[in-house]
Structure 1
Amino acid sequence: MTDRFVSSEEAPQQMTSIDYVAHPEARVALHRRTLSVVMASQVFSGAGLAAGVTVGALLAEQMLGASSLSGLPAGLFTGGSALAAFIVGRLSQRLGRRVGLAAGYAAGALGGAGVVAAAALDNVVLLLISLLVYGAGTATNLQARYAGADLSAPGRRGRAVSSVLVTTTVGAVIGPNLVVATGRAADRFGLPALAGPFALATIAYAVAGIILFLLLRPDPLLVSRTLPAESVTTVTTKPAHGTPSGVIAGAATMILTQVVMVAVMTMTPVHMQAHGHDLGATGLVISLHIAAMYLPSLVTGILVDRAGRVPVAVASGVTLLAAGLVSATAPDDSVPLLALALILLGLGWNLGLVSGTAMITDAAPPATRAKIQGTVDLCIALAGATGGITSGLVMAATSYAALSITGGVLALGVIPFVLSRARRA
């Protein structure tokens, strides 16, 4: 008798573990179905993520009355995403991706509803608590990429991750461009205009969670534990303390790219508003930025699989430096140049995320994969929280240009670190 890898209520819908081992075509079909379900959920979660990011700093500035604290929302919901990444990772480790991801999106929806209520009541304490909970949606959005890679062969892992990320683009582009429309809708209901995008995020996260909870059966992570090790993992060298070099290199790549991306992205709407740009222009720049975060994924995935993880990680640092230089030198009234800078910022983040994710999934065995991935995403979220909170302080003390250049230089730290780890592996 084979080990059970799902609950008894799911058994009628699934083959046994030995069937997936004996019939590779069944594994391929299951992998494709898993990708389809996860991709469908990501369309909605992308809208939820992007809508809140676009106006979060503006809402905080409006309610707190201080531009130096406008980076607080990004710090809070990335801090919340840190806690959620840890919890979602542990839930997924014990109960599978379906339960872990659905729970994360449910928490994100609850946080979005709380932000709407806080804006309506002008309650700063409720706003801060709700932003923290809202961050669960961000963490879950990122952890969904791992579900796409659970059943993929090592040589196609980059493309599997990219397929999930690219569908996020649809919602991520739509979300910021609905800022004005959702603001008008909120106004008609007697709510502050900036609460509208968070209402959209609430609905979007709820729908994403429902899709995963109902349709992500059989669970890809639990099935992967029944498969031959060589079909789902790649061996990498372990240093003395026991952590695979691939995990360390992948984590470092994603942490550095995350902190730079969050810091510059968070302050761009504040910088634009301070120089007379309206919400429509701000929404356009942010939507292009988020499109660049996800849309290049199909090409990035191919590059990661064919050229290798390390070259793509190095390219991420160079691209983020270019983003910092363009944003620092762009005239304050130039929407096209600011858009170009944010596109480069998104592209650099994408290169780092896809290459780093592939490194970690290569190195982590299925038995502990979700736990390792959740811990790595915890570190990434904490780095993003640091970038978000300090970005407002840095910009208030210096300038947007100084913040951008500092971020670009910091991103170059990816290169020596990843090359060093690659040599050890």
Structure 2
Amino acid sequence: MDLIARPERLPSSTYVLSLCQALNLTAAVVSVTIAALAGEKMAPGPAWATLPYGVQFAAVALLTYPASVFMRRFGRKPGFLCGAMTLIVAGCVGFFAVQQSSFVGLVLAHGLLGVYVSFANFYRFAAVDQLPAPLRPRGVSLVVAGGVLAAFIGPWISLGLGNVDGYAPYSLCYASFAGIGISTIALVGVWRQGRGIEATPVHMEAARKAPVTAAILAAIFTSASAYMVMNLLMVQASLVMDSMGVGFHASTLAIQAHVIAMFLPSLVTGLIIGKFGFRLTLCAGFLLLIATTLLALFGSGGFEAMLIGLILLGIGWNLSYIGGGALLAKYLTEENRHSMQGINDSVIAICATAGAFSPALLQTLIGWKNTNLLCLLLCIIGFVMVWRATKATLT
């Protein structure tokens, strides 16, 4: 009743999901910080060091759609609880794997972490399941804003637990996943799930027959391409700064500034969408990504240019990713929301995986500037898709 009487306010359940997302992204930050370092110590050879992290991404890409099917059948809350319990197991497996120097165990731990992420990635969609259309952009934005906390908590956990006397390096970082999982279970336990329709055969058939509009395709392409460009340029920027002789401390600060730029705008992105509309917001996101590539192509090439580019990259990702998710939520029906959200996040996971694994290869084969040319082309395609898809119905 409160939501109906005061539609300008988000329900308390949205804030709970934002905290869940903060925990999810905290686990992600810790994982990306320690995965290669732990893998390097236990891998049979240097080429295998990133295999655990690769398996994590592969698990997300493979299991995102099955996770959406599970939640369509059994509900959001059972899915999120299942993911959180998997995270606890991942933390225990990772802790003992590092303690016993078991590389196979480490790979298994990151695979389980990928299972958890497959469920947790749907927090932002769960936040808008029962929201009226005007509040959906703010709901998605608020949940993604949980990354602001993760940008600070994740490094704090990694630095504080990375090397503790009496424990193998990084083992307690993996153990922290169990604590994050337990905290998630507590939050999901108090979260009030919105009511959805039962996934009957009639509704499933309606979902299969629901048209895939140009706006839905544009929404999926926007989120997925923005994630791919962000991952690709962020990782390759680290390699480029290293080749430039930039110190580890300076490059770390640049990446942290990028991560803050990714999530801090989430506090207002929903309001921006509400005021200026989907078209201008999404196009602005692509323009910022285009500006990032142009700076790399025609800028000075120094550390300051890299830092500014990474900040623009983070803000551009934020507008594109959140805007794409909100646009998708606007056009989905109750019948097809689970299936289309599953397809959307599967495509994002595949593109994010490609963006995470290809930087070193592209840096070797075509170099930094040509990589930015490829990203520029991708952003121009996205800009045109959004402009055309939103012309008839959106401002």
**TM-score (structure 2 length as normaliser):** 0.83
Instruction: Give the match for residue 218 of structure 2.
Output: 249
Aligned mates of 1:71, 1:264 — CA distance in 2: 18
The CA deviation string for residues 306-361 of structure 1, in whole angstroms up to 9 with x for no partner, is 222122222222212223344565757x3x54443322222111111111111111
Residues 225, 378 of structure 2: 8 Å contact kept: yes
Shift in alpha-carbon separation, 1:26–1:156, aligned structure 2, 3 A: closer
> Where in structure 2 are the equivalents of 1:217-296 lying within 5 Å?
217=192, 219-220=193-194, 223-225=195-197, 242-272=211-241, 280-296=249-265
Structure 1 equivalent of residue 4 of structure 2: 24
Q: How far is 1:67 from its partner?
A: 7.3
| Cα-Cα RMSD | 3.4
- One-letter amino acid matched to 1:215: V
1:204-238 deviation per Cα after TM superposition (whole angstroms, max 9, x unaligned): 244223311x1123x12xx2549xxxxxxxxxxx9
Q: Partner of 1:8 in structure 2? A: none
The number of residue pairs the alignment matches comes to: 383
2:345 equivalent to 1:416: no
- 1:363 aligns to 2:350 (yes or no): no
1:392 pairs with 2:360: yes
What does residue 187 of structure 2 align with?
211
Matches of 1:340 and 1:182 in 2, distance apart?
A: 31
Q: Judge conservation of contact 1:317–1:413 (CA < 8 Å) in 2.
A: no
Residues 80-111 of structure 1, C-alpha deviations (whole Å, 9 max, x = no match): 22233223312221222211122223334433
Whether the 8 Å CA contact 1:27–1:151 is kept in 2: the answer is: no
Alignment CA distance shift 1:407-1:71 (3 Å): farther
**1:132 maps to what in 2?**
111
Residue 281 of structure 1 deviates from its aligned partner by: 4.4
Amino acid across the alignment from 1:24: I
**1:382 Cα offset (Å):** 1.1
- Which residue, out of 76, 82, 96, partners 1:97? 76
**Distance in 2 of aligned mates of 1:77 and 1:297:** 26
Matches within 5 A, 1:333-352: 334=303, 337-352=305-320
Structure 2, unmatched stretches of 5+, are 199-206
Counterpart residue number, 2:153: 174
Which string of whole-angstrom CA distances, capped at 9 and with x for unpartnered residues, describes residues 111-137 of structure 1? 344444444444443333432332234
* Secondary structure at 1:242 match in 2: coil
Change (3 A) 1:59 1:358: same
Instruction: Please give the alpha-carbon distance, in whole angstroms, between the structure 2 residues aligned to 1:209 and 1:287.
Output: 28
Unaligned runs of 5+ in 1: 1-19, 227-237
Choose from 274, 278, 293 the match for 1:324: 293
User: Within the alignment, does 1:353 sit opposite 2:325 as a pair?
Assistant: no
How far residue 254 of structure 1 moved from its aligned partner, in angstroms, is 0.8
Q: Is the counterpart of residue 88 in structure 1 residue 63 in structure 2?
A: no
Partner-residue secondary structure (3-state), 2:390? helix
1:311 to 280, 290, 307: 280
Q: 1:23 to 1:256 in 2, by over 3 A?
A: closer
- Whether 1:200 aligns to 2:176 is yes
Q: Is the 8 A contact 2:225 2:382 kept in 1?
A: yes
Cα distance in 2, alignment partners of residues 32 and 315 from structure 1: 29
TM-score with structure 1 length normalisation? 0.78
Distance 1:210 1:288 in 2: 31
- % identical equivalent positions: 22
Is the 8 Å Cα contact of residues 179 and 283 (structure 1) preserved in structure 2?
no
> How far apart, in 2, do the equivalents of 1:274 and 1:109 lie?
38
Instruction: State how far apart, in whole Å, the 2-side matches of 1:382 and 1:156 are.
Output: 29
